Structure 1
Amino acid sequence: MAYTDFIAAIDLGTSRIVGMVGKKNEHGVLSIIAYEVENSGNCIRRGCVYNVEETANKIKRLVRKLENKLHEAKIEKVYVGVGGQSLRSINHTVPRVLGTEGVVTDEIISSLHAECLNFHPDMLDVLAAVSPVYYLDNKPEANPVGIPCTRIEAKYKLIVGRPSLKRHIINSIAERAQITIAGIIVSPLALSDAVLNDDERDLGCALIGFGAGVTTLTVYKGGKLLHLSVIPLGSNLITRDITSLHLPESEAERVKQTYGSAMMDQDNDQSIQVSQADGLGMREIKLSDLNNVVEARMGEILENVYARLDAIEMEGTLGAGIVITGGGAALKSLPEVIRKRTKMEVRYAATRRGIVASGDLEAGNPSYASAVGLLLNGTENCAGYVPPAYVVEPGPFMEDPIEVPPMPKSEPVKPSKPKPEKKQGGLLKNLSSKFDSMTRNLFDDSEDKS
C-alpha cells in the first residue's frame, strides 16, 4: 500500500546530494523509509548550487529513485538544507515598548521573531533566527510570557548568507525540477540537532564539519548558539594537493582515504603502491611524502578553526569538548592533533540515541546525519495526494480481498419525459373506426352461432 504521510528532505553537499524520506511517531522518533545518494559533481561548489540546470536534473533523478521505494507514493514537496561559504551568524536586537500595563504574550514573542526574519542586512538574506535571549525592563528572563513589563528586548542570533544561496535553490528545485519546497533549513543547525544533546549544548560544545568544499564551525554554550561560521577550505583541497605526487585525482582520493594522516611520521619509511595515470601500471611512493602533503593542508584548515575559537574566546573552555564529522574527519590521527592543540576532548559525531528507530542502520552513518537533522525539523506532510481505494471482500470464487481504484465521477442521468401520444385524425381515423366495427361484428356473429 502506498505511503500517504511522510517527510522528505534533500541535503545539498559539495561531493554528493543525499535524499531521505522518513516518518515520525507520536513521540517524535524517526523511522527511515528510504534514502538515496547522487554524486553532485561540479553542480555544487563549496556548499552552494553552482550549475542550476544540472542540479535540477540530479534532484529529479534522486526523487524518482526515492519514489521507487515508496510503493508508488509521490513526493510532492521537500525540505532542503542550505549551506555555503557565505553562511555565518550575526547578533540582532529587537526592542518593543509595551507601556505601563503591558504583559508579554505569545503573540508578542511571535511578532519579535517575525521582525527578525524580515530584517535585511546589507547584501545578505536572513535564513534563520535562533537562540533568543529576552530582557524585560533590562533584566534577563528565560520564560517571559505572562510577565508584566513596560519594555521587552529580544537578542537573536541571525543566520545570514548571500541572496544567491536561497535563489539558486529555488531556481533549481522549485522552478526547474518542479518540486515544491516545504522549507529551507540551515544545514549546520540541522546537523547539530541530529548529533548534539542538551547537556552538550549547555556545557559548551564545538561541532566541526570537515566537508569536501568547506569546513563549518558551530559553537554552543549555555544551551544557546554562540557562533556559526564557514571556512572556505575543504578536504577536496587535500586531494588536489596529493595530485602533485603525479597521481590522477581518483587515485589521490583513494590514497587519502586509505593512508592519509593529519600527523606525519617522519620515521616511517614505509612505501605504498599507487596506480599511475593512463593505466601505466603501479609504482611506489613514500608514506611520509604523502602525509607531509596531507598534514600541511589540514594544518591550514585547522588554524582557521582555532582562530575562530580564539575570536569568541572559547578555545579550551568548552565543557563538552569538540565533535568532528564529515568526510575529512576520517583522516587518521585528526582527533589527536586537535586535542593536543585545544586541550579539549575530541570525539566523532554520531546520531543521538532515541531520535531514530532501532534498525535504521543508515541513520548511524555520519554521512547521513545532516539529512536526519532535516527530517527532525520537518513538520509538513510531503506526500502527494493518493485517492482512496475500495476493498472488494472475498467471495465464493475469490480467496483474498482486492483493492479497486475509485471510479471517476459522472454526471447524474436525468429521467426522460414521456412523449405525448399523437392523435390520429382525418382518413386514418375513419379507416381505424371501420376496422374496429368489422372486428366486433365478426366476434359477435361467432358468439351467436355457438
Structure 2
Amino acid sequence: MAAKDFIVAIELGSSKMTGIAGRKNLDGSINVLAVVREDSSSFIRKGVVYNIDKTALCLTNIVNKLTAQLKTKITQVYVGVGGQSIRSVKNVIARDLPSDTKVTQEVVINLMDVNSNWRYPDQEILDVATQEYKVDSQTQIDPVGIQCSHIEGNFLNILERKTFYKNLNKCFETARINVAEMYLAPLALADSVLTEAEKRSGCALVDIGADTTTVSVYSKNLLRHLAVIPLGSGNITKDIASLQMEESDAERMKLKYACAYTDNSEIDNTMRLPIDTERQVESRKFIEIVEGRLEEIIENVWCQIPSDYYDKLLGGIILTGGGSNMKNIEKAFVNHTHIDKIRTAKFVTHSITSTNSDINAKNGTMNTVLGLLAKGDINCAGEEVDPNDLFGGNQEDRPVANDPGPKAPRQPSEKPESVVLTEAEKQAAKEEARRKREEEERVAREKEEEEQRRLEEERKANSPLNKALKWFKKTANKLTEPE
C-alpha cells in the first residue's frame, strides 16, 4: 500500500549518503518507513561535495529507491549541511541611541539584519546563533522594552566556503530534487541527542565521523562555538593500512581489535593480531598506531573548545558518530581532557520505530539523519506511483530543485533557527529586498518632491512682489466695493 504522508531527509556523509523516510505520530514518535544508503567516498570528501555530477546521480538513485519502497512520489526533501569548511565566528553590531530610548523590536531586527548581511571574503553565512545583547552595561537575552543609550548585539555567525555552498545547491538542481529546508546538520544532531540540562549547564558535543570530527559547544541553552576538524575514524584506518595491508583489511581490524585506551600493563608484547590467514601484526604496534591517531583527534577537539568554557562544561562531553563506538573511548577522553563527565550518545532522544538493522543497531551512525527527519514538518509525499512506471515518473517532469514555489522569500530576521537558506531562496530574498528598497526610495522621493513644491509655493506666497500684488488687489477690491 502506498504511503500518503511522510517526511524525507537526506544526509550527505563522507562515507555514506543516507536517505530516510518516516511518519510522525501525534505523540511525537516517528515510524521509519524506508532507509537507503549509498557509498559516497568517491565524490564527497570530508563532508564536502567535490563531484557535482556523481553526487547528483547518487541523490537521484536514493530518491528513486525510496520512491520504489514507498510506492509514492517524493515532492521534496530535507537536507543536512555540514563539512570541513564550516566554522563559527563571533560578530558584534553596536548602535548608539538617543538618551533613555526604549529598545523596540525594530531596533533588534535591524541589528540582526545588519549582521546577516555582513560580508566575509569567500565565505557564506549559513546560520546565525544570536548570543546575548549588551544594553548599556547590562547583558540581556531579550532587550525589548529596556531604556538605554547604547545597545550591542552579539552574534555567532556560522560560515562555509561559498564554493562548497554553491556546489551543494547545484547538486540538487542537477538532480531536479526540490529542497523543503536545509538544516545545519550539527545543530539538528545536537537537538536530537543533547538534553536540555546539558545545553543549559554547558557541554561539548563531539561527532566523530569517517573524515571529520565536529565540535559544538553549548552553554545557557545557546550555541557558543562550532568547528569541524578534518580528522576522523577513517584516519585511524589509513594509519593501520600503513602496516602494509589493504584499507578494507585495516577497517576490519579496527572494528575488531581497536581500543582507544589500553593500560601498559595489559599489553602482551608477544601477542600478534592476524591480518589474514598468512600475515600478522604485533599487538603493541597496532595499539600504538590506534592510540596515537586518536590522541591527535582528542587534542584537536580540546583545542577547538574556547578556553573560557573549560570550567563551564558542567554537562560534560557527549560523544556520538560511528567513531564513538571504539572500546574505552570515554576513558581516553577523560585522560586527555580531564573532564570526568563523558557520555556516549548511541541513539537520539526521540522514540523511533523501525525494522531497519542500521537504525536498530543504535551505534550513533544514524543519529544525524534521524535528527534531520525529526526537524521536518512538511509532507514530502506526492502522487501514488504508477505500477507500470518502474522509475517513478520521468525525471524531466520533476519541478526544478530549490524552487521556493508558494513559499514567500524569507528575510534574514525571519529565518527559523538552524535553517540554511538555499541559493534560490537567498536570491529571491535579495530580489524582494531590492524591490522593497526601490519602493521605499520611490516613496521617499515623492515625499521630497511634494515637500519641495510646498516650500516653493510658500516662498512665492511670501515674496515681496506677491505680497505687493495681494495688497494692490485687496485695495482695489475695497475701492470698487459699493458704499
After TM superposition, the score normalised by the length of structure 1 is 0.77
Q: Deviations over 1:103-157 (max 9, x none)?
A: 523x655554444333321211001111432334443223344556665432121
Query: SS at the partner of 1:86?
Result: coil
Is the contact made by 2:102 and 2:145 (CA closer than 8 Å) also made in structure 1? no
Q: Deviations over 1:16-68 (max 9, x none)?
A: 11112223345544333322211112110011011111111111111112122
Q: Are 2:10 and 1:7 aligned?
A: no
Q: Deviations over 1:175-227 (max 9, x none)?
A: 21110122221111111111001100111111111111111111111211111
1:429 is matched with which residue?
Answer: none
State the distance in 1 between where 2:327 and 2:26 align. 41
Query: SS at the partner of 1:14?
Result: coil
1:108-147 equivalences in 2 (<5 Å): 109-110=108-109, 112-145=111-144
Is the contact made by 1:264 and 1:288 (CA closer than 8 Å) also made in structure 2? no
Q: Kindly tell me: are residues 156 and 22 of structure 1, through their superposed partners in 2, closer, same or farther at Cα, counting changes over 3 Å?
A: farther
1:291 is matched with which residue?
Answer: 287
2:372 is matched with which residue?
Answer: 374
1:424 is matched with which residue?
Answer: none
What is the number of equivalent residue pairs in this alignment?
377
State the distance in 2 between where 1:216 and 1:8 align. 24
1:346 is matched with which residue?
Answer: 342
Supply the AA of the counterpart residue of 2:272: S
Query: SS at the partner of 2:74?
Result: coil
Supply the AA of the counterpart residue of 1:259: Y
1:19-418 equivalences in 2 (<5 Å): 19-26=19-26, 28-70=28-70, 72-95=71-94, 102-105=102-105, 109-110=108-109, 112-145=111-144, 152-173=151-172, 175-264=173-262, 266=264, 267-268=267-268, 269-275=270-276, 281-309=277-305, 311-315=306-310, 317-344=312-339, 345-353=341-349, 355-357=350-352, 362=359, 364-384=362-382
Q: Kindly tell me: are residues 261 and 357 of structure 1, through their superposed partners in 2, closer, same or farther at Cα, counting changes over 3 Å?
A: closer
1:76 Cα deviation (Å)?
Answer: 1.5
2:426 is matched with which residue?
Answer: none
Further displaced range: 16-25 or 177-186: 16-25
Is the contact made by 2:32 and 2:354 (CA closer than 8 Å) also made in structure 1? no
Supply the AA of the counterpart residue of 2:271: Q
State the distance in 2 between where 1:384 and 1:312 align. 50
State the distance in 1 between where 2:375 and 2:328 align. 34
State the distance in 2 between where 1:73 and 1:83 align. 29
Is the contact made by 2:321 and 2:363 (CA closer than 8 Å) also made in structure 1? no
Taking only the aligned residue pairs, the percentage that are identical comes to 36
Is the contact made by 2:299 and 2:336 (CA closer than 8 Å) also made in structure 1? no
Unaligned runs of 5+ in 1: 276-280, 388-450
State the distance in 2 between where 1:293 and 1:201 align. 34
1:247 Cα deviation (Å)?
Answer: 1.1
1:170 Cα deviation (Å)?
Answer: 1.0
Q: Kindly tell me: are residues 337 and 328 of structure 1, through their superposed partners in 2, closer, same or farther at Cα, counting changes over 3 Å?
A: same
State the distance in 1 between where 2:9 and 2:153 align. 31
State the distance in 1 between where 2:117 and 2:142 align. 24
Q: Deviations over 1:263-317 (max 9, x none)?
A: 3455323222222xxxxx43222222211111111112122122223x4333354
Q: Kindly tell me: are residues 299 and 8 of structure 1, through their superposed partners in 2, closer, same or farther at Cα, counting changes over 3 Å?
A: same
Query: SS at the partner of 2:275?
Result: strand
1:416 is matched with which residue?
Answer: none
Q: Kindly tell me: are residues 141 and 385 of structure 1, through their superposed partners in 2, closer, same or farther at Cα, counting changes over 3 Å?
A: farther
Is the contact made by 1:326 and 1:367 (CA closer than 8 Å) also made in structure 2? yes
1:420 is matched with which residue?
Answer: none
Is the contact made by 1:316 and 1:343 (CA closer than 8 Å) also made in structure 2? no
State the distance in 1 between where 2:235 and 2:327 align. 17
Is the contact made by 1:210 and 1:328 (CA closer than 8 Å) also made in structure 2? yes
Let me know the Cα RMSD of the aligned residues. 2.5
Query: SS at the partner of 1:74?
Result: strand
* Higher Rg of the two aligned structures: 1
